[in-house]
Amino acid sequence: MSGIKTLGQFIIEKQADFSYAKGELSRLLRDIGIAAKIVNREVNKAGLVDILGDAGTVNIQGEGQKKLDIFANTQFISALTSGGECCIVATEEEDEFVPIDSPVSKNAKYIVCIDPLDGSSNIDVNVAVGTIFSIYRRKSTDGMATIADVLQKGTEQVAAGYVIYGSSTMLVYTTGKGVNGFTLDPSIGEFCLSHPDLKMPEDGSIYSINEGNYVHFPKGVKKYIKYAQVHDAATNRPYTSRYIGSMVADIHRNLIKGGIYIYPTTASSPNGKLRLLYECNPMAFIVEQAGGFASDGFKRILEIEPVELHQRSSIFIGSKKMVRMAEQMMTEFA
Ligand code: AHM
Ligand code: MG
């Protein structure tokens, strides 16, 4: 097996990095990897079986849930329940957090926040979707973990990652010591290290935003879009516009090529659309660990104090120089 390093091997190798962990975090990451493979199998055959389309229920945000959202939600909760390392799962698909009340899990050290299948409106048209997860250490020391254990700032994350179900399936994660990417080799059913120590270019020339909402954007965002479209050879402008409408896929591309992804406040989403705990914080941790930056337009995403489970935020995330420039315009035209 020359040259191949599987996710499992890599996690075990890196376990020594965590003086506080006795293998629990490694097992948690392994459990997430296993659930991701099961979800991948179903996503891959979405066009074949009658699992496609609306399930007819509506999630806490009032959005229609697709059947695969529900499937993915169930898979991740069940993997985290049987793994025994996690005492609470907070998921975008459920209005309350899910306490894991088994004898082994209730004293477990970790909290997982997860968006089991992000961008699910893209499934019906065979466009990449993703899973986003975030892991925190439990703060309380006895009894059942509580909401206070879940509402931690992004800076407290001990690990975060995403899975992209795209032209190939990848799992990308960080434990705060850089970012590593693994590609699923379907022939052996293993995630294999393919993108060691991922670094995001400091500057880039891709901007990703749903420009259809232009009229509803804050002035600073409008100015940034105009800046992105001006010809200036020295700064590689005009930038290229790329927007898939699937956060994981848009950010994954920009992470590798250099770029900025923006989901600002709009008239219909005055606090932004994306959720702080399930989407913004984990992606911000990964991007910062790769050398990029994430802001809500004025302050660092990872330093926002969460006050509720399904809190939303605007987000400007990507290559550091691009995000700083967008922040500058937000302040100047506030
Ligand atoms: P979801 O969690 O309901 O799937 O929504 C999140 C998705 C992101 O993946 C994507 O970037 C964004 O919503 C697209 O929103 P819009 O269609 O408003 O541009
Ligand atoms: Mg989502």
| Distance (Å) from CA 245 to ligand 1 centroid | 6
Atom of ligand 1 nearest to the CA of 92: 2
Q: What is the pLDDT of residue 118?
A: 96
| Distance (Å) from CA 234 to ligand 2 centroid | 36
Q: Share the mean pLDDT of the chain.
A: 92
How far lies 219's CA from each of 14, 228, 328, in Å?
45, 14, 12
99/91 Cα distance (integer angstroms):
11
Q: Exposure pattern of 152-186 as b/e (b: 16+ CB <10 Å)? A: bbbeebbbbbbbbbbeebbbbbbbeeebbbbbbee
Give every residue of the chain whose pLDDT is below 70, as ranges.
1-2, 18-21, 48-66
> What is the CB < 6 Å shell around ligand 1?
63, 115, 118-120, 210, 245-247, 250, 273
Predicted model pTM: 0.94
Nearest CA to ligand 1 atom 3: 119
| Distance (Å) from CA 121 to ligand 2 centroid | 10
